[in-house]
Chain A
Amino acid sequence: AQSVTQLGSHVSVSEGALVLLRCNYSSSVPPYLFWYVQYPNQGLQLLLKYTTGATLVKGINGFEAEFKKSETSFHLTKPSAHMSDAAEYFCAVSPMDTGRRALTFGSGTRLQVQP
């Protein structure tokens, strides 16, 4: 079984400041990890994913995330926030075996960017 915990349902940063969105997961098997972003009135869009190999993964729009197995974390960061980053962000986990296809999502973190 998998679960995802996103710390902080709302995060507010100033434009140009560091963005840090936290995600911790629980999985009984090695996980695949994902970050998705949802803009208002739109579906979810994949930002980045970790499968195997390099633990620091880079995604679109300047975001990156680091898989830390010892901490069971996959936090999302961006060095400098832009107004267009305001959205809701979802962390998700999927088991690395082939038995179950679906993603388990966290509750989401709404990012506000202040001018």
Chain B
Amino acid sequence: AQSVTQPDIHITVSEGASLELRCNYSYGATPYLFWYVQSPGQGLQLLLKYFSGDTLVQGIKGFEAEFKRSQSSFNLRKPSVHWSDAAEYFCAVGAPTGYSTLTFGKGTMLLVSP
């Protein structure tokens, strides 16, 4: 069965500092990988996705993520965090068949300090 681990429940970053949110997955092959962001009381917005090809994926809002097969990881990064980035971030995996469901990690809450 596939699973996703986000080891950090919450992270605090100073505004302007860089950010890296960790995501590790367990799956028999290379899955489809996603990062979503959720603001309080809102639904989820897709930041970026990896299906195949270039392992460094660019997303919206200045985010990027790097797929590392050897480490079964898909960490999310941003070079300079803005206060508006404070939110909950979810990593998700899906089977590369095109029609399966997604499995979400437990999420990482990002807090941005002035």
B partners with A: no
Q: A interface vs B, CB < 8 Å?
A: none
Q: B interface vs A, CB < 8 Å?
A: none
